[in-house]
Structure 1
Amino acid sequence: MTSRYLDYSGNMDGELRMPGKDKHFQNTEDRTDSGLDSLKDEDYNRIVSGVQNLCIPVSATPQDYEPEPWKVQNNEDGDTLLHLAVIHEAKDLAEEAIRRSYRDGYYLNRQNNLYQTPLHLAIITEQAEIAEKLLQAGCDPEIRDYRGNTALHIACQRGSLRGVGVIVQYSKFQLPSLLTCYNYDGHTCLHLASNNGYLAIVEHLISLGADINAQEPCNGRTALHMAVDKQNPDLMYLLLKHGADVNKVTYQGYSPCQLTWGRENSQIQQHLLSVTEKSLQYLPESEDEDSSDSESEHSDDEYMYDDCKLMCQGLN
């Protein structure tokens, strides 16, 4: 397919025309004083030649897209040849399929029955080299699977530092969106890395601009609340070092410090007590007076959280 270019009048015939006029550039006598008169003839001719040879490729649209026969085939699970090559780690076959699909977004972004693209599968199978080639070929890193996870979500959840690095390197324009994207459980990439204790990934995401105080939509926990829940002092110190808000409360009104009561790690509790506002250091009196009521409320919160997760999935 030969490349075409638009001329100034919007025609596709490849002939350079004056703006708003249906005539060719034949001489320079009628030009306005744009500074071109001061150019030498050879410089002027070189500029005109460059403009005439300027080509703007016309991307394929769904209407005129005619894929090769092997690109439209898939099995009962919705997996294409490229999906299967990645799943079975047939590197040579995967690379050849990617090479023959360069800038073919229709094929590179095909989703199987679980809405997984080849990029999702490359991250799941720890094939950073294949993920890199997919991104170089033009796949979309923002596509989400049936759980609302982008490939970056999966890399953060699995603790794949190489996977995170590759996606970040080739997704500079999409990165702000990727960092703020919630999956269907209400987790950002930072939430997943924090919840699983992958400190290097947590720090890397923060350095890239991830919101350290982002709250889960269902209950309002931040990464710092998760550090308390997971009893992870190293994560707590890391988050505080990078400016996590110790006074941020959940939608039920609990600060990270308040969540330390009744938990074993006194190191976390003592440090949070020293940096948290006094009004947010201790549990409300009603909770201290009746622990059984507290347990009942906790169960209700869990039910509410599960219902909220289902609602989030339905909305997405």
Structure 2
Amino acid sequence: MDNRGDRKKEADDASEEICDSGFDSVLDSFRSINQEYHRNIKKQSPEEADDGDKIDSVTEDRLDSSYGSSSISSENLSDILQSCKITEVKYSKRPETEGFTQEEIEILTSISDDGDTILHLAIIHEEQQFALYLISLFPKDVLDMQNDLYQTPLHLATYLNQPVVVQALVEKKACLELQDQDGNTPLHVACAQGYLECANELTRENVAPQSNVLKMQNWRGMTCMHVAALQGNHQFIELLMRKKANINAQEGTSGKTLLHLAVELHDQSLVSLLLKKGAKVDMVMYNGCTPLHLAVGRQDANIANLLCQSGADKLLRNMEGETAQDLADGNDDILALFPFDDIQISGRSVVNF
């Protein structure tokens, strides 16, 4: 059952509650976030703190670092934030400042040493109501700001599985196509983490056309469909197909389609699903291998049989000049799929001797 309306009401109610409570409560919330970090970082030795800043992955150690800039603390905020505020030169738009004190403006327009805005920090620390208030306050330019790992607030809300925040960002027209340091869009992140609610929000019908997002590859050459296939997540694949994602898209490094990946993973149910949905059975990788080449090479007789029943061409040769049969390596179950007394064209017998 679609509970989007309930989440929308929750988001609206939370935003109204914060607005009614005044900016002082928002400021207190921000201070409490940083007081918590300030307490935690004192428990670490200087060496441990340094190690926390050595980030190798978009989706792993980053959270443990607390987006670890000690330039933001609960002590003397206005003085400290002077050195890291968002400048007019770099960002042309600021939040509306009418009725705010200079200290409040400095906090709203500040960034940490890791490039995180106050909205990044609110999402990281799961301060949902505060994040919703900031989303309602900020213009689109600020919502799309990327930190030092090129993560937008939408990346973080997706990675932390906060569908209400994702919904609010999408409704405010946050960009869906910005890529993090691994080339992942927020939808890539949702597919990799298996967060279906977030994926639904990122592909909603009333969002601008999704074609570019569905075609985009990360730095490993993977579209969102490829990422979902690697996770074996059939629900995501079906969702993306309903959104008109290309089932025969080739990933950028070796030219594998979803069907190639499903064969490699020995995922017979996914192979069946893809074939029923119109996947091309004889698509070739950059090295000329078809899904049948891969199935036979991996000694998977069941999937090889399924591909043959779907009309796979047994005579196609890869760049090494090998047919699928050449890769059978004496496997009787697989060799039985390649009768020697048949002349075949496009995988079908035309003459029997």
Q: Does 1:181 align with 2:216?
A: yes
Amino acid at match of 1:276: A
Match in the other structure for 1:76:
113
- Give the counterpart of 1:65 among 73, 88, 93: 93
Which of the residues 93, 109, 129 maps onto 1:92? 129
1:2-151 aligned within 5 A: 65-67=93-95, 68-101=105-138, 104-151=139-186
Q: Which residue of 1 aligns with 2:33?
A: none
Match of 1:284 in 2: 322
Q: Do the aligned partners of residues 173 and 137 (structure 1) sit closer, same or farther apart at CA in structure 2, a change above 3 Å counting?
A: closer
Per the normalisation by structure 1, the TM-score is: 0.67
Equivalent position of 2:84 in the other structure: none
Q: Is contact 1:123-1:154 (8 Å) kept?
A: yes
In structure 1, C-alpha distance between the alignment counterparts of 2:93 and 2:324, rounded to whole Å? 66
> Residue type of the partner of 2:121?
L
Give the Cα–Cα distance (whole angstroms) in 2 for the partners of residues 174 and 165 of structure 1: 14
Q: Residue in 2 aligned with 1:30?
A: none
Partners of 2:241 and 2:247 within 8 A in 1 = yes
Q: Distance in 2 between matches of 1:286 and 1:193?
A: 27
- Cα deviation for residue 141 of structure 1 reads 1.2
Residue number among 234, 240, 247 corresponding to 2:269 in the alignment: 234
Consecutive unaligned residues of structure 1, counting only runs of 5 or more, are 1-60, 292-316
Q: Which residue, out of 163, 167, 180, partners 2:198?
A: 163
Deviation at 1:78, TM superposition (A): 1.1
Change in CA separation of 1:186 and 1:82 when aligned onto 2, cut-off 3 Å:
same
Mapped to 1, the partners of 2:221 and 2:262 lie a distance apart of: 17
Return the alpha-carbon distance in structure 2 between the equivalents of residues 96 and 218 of structure 1.
42
* Conserved 8 A contact 1:182-1:188: yes
Opposite residue 98 of structure 1, the aligned amino acid is I
Query: Does the 8 Å contact 1:257/1:281 carry over to 2?
Result: no
Residues 165 and 285 of structure 1: CA distance in aligned 2, closer, same or farther (over 3 Å): closer
Q: Per-residue deviation at 1:96?
A: 1.5
State the Cα deviation string for residues 120-153 of structure 1 (Å, max 9, x = none): 0000001001110111122111111111111011
- Which amino acid in 2 is paired with 1:99? S
Compute the displacement of 1:253 (Å).
Answer: 0.4
Question: What secondary structure is seen at the aligned counterpart in 1 of 2:291?
Answer: coil
For structure 2, the 5+ residue unaligned runs are 1-88, 96-104, 330-353
**Structure number, greater radius of gyration:** 1
Cα distance, 1:161 vs. partner? Answer: 1.1
Could you list the per-position Cα deviations for residues 3-62 of structure 1 after superposition, in whole angstroms to 9, with x for gaps in the alignment?
Answer: xxxxxxxxxxxxxxxxxxxxxxxxxxxxxxxxxxxxxxxxxxxxxxxxxxxxxxxxxx98
CA offset digits 1:184-223 (Å, max 9, x no partner) = 1101111111111110110111121111111112211000
1:264–1:286 CA distance, 2 compared to 1 (3 A): closer
Contact 2:315/2:323 (CA < 8 Å) preserved in 1? Answer: no
1:70 to partner: Cα distance: 2.5
Per the alignment, residue 195 of structure 1 pairs with 230
Name the amino acid aligned to 1:76: D
Note closer, same or farther for the CA distance 1:232–1:157 as it changes in structure 2 (3 Å cut): same
Tell me, in whole angstroms, the C-alpha distance in 2 between the residues paired with 1:63 and 1:84: 19
What is the distance in 1 between the residues matched to 2:151 and 2:255? Answer: 28
| Separation in structure 1 between the aligned mates of residue 249 and residue 172 of structure 2, nearest angstrom | 32
RMSD of the alignment, in Å?
2.6
CA distance in 2, matches of 1:74, 1:64: 15
Question: Residue type matched to 2:198 in 1?
Answer: G
Hey, what's the Cα distance between the residues in 1 that align with 2:124 and 2:163? 13
Judge which range, 68-77 or 241-250, deviates more.
Answer: 68-77
**CA gap 1:70/1:271 in 2 versus in 1, 3 angstroms:** same
Aligned length: 230
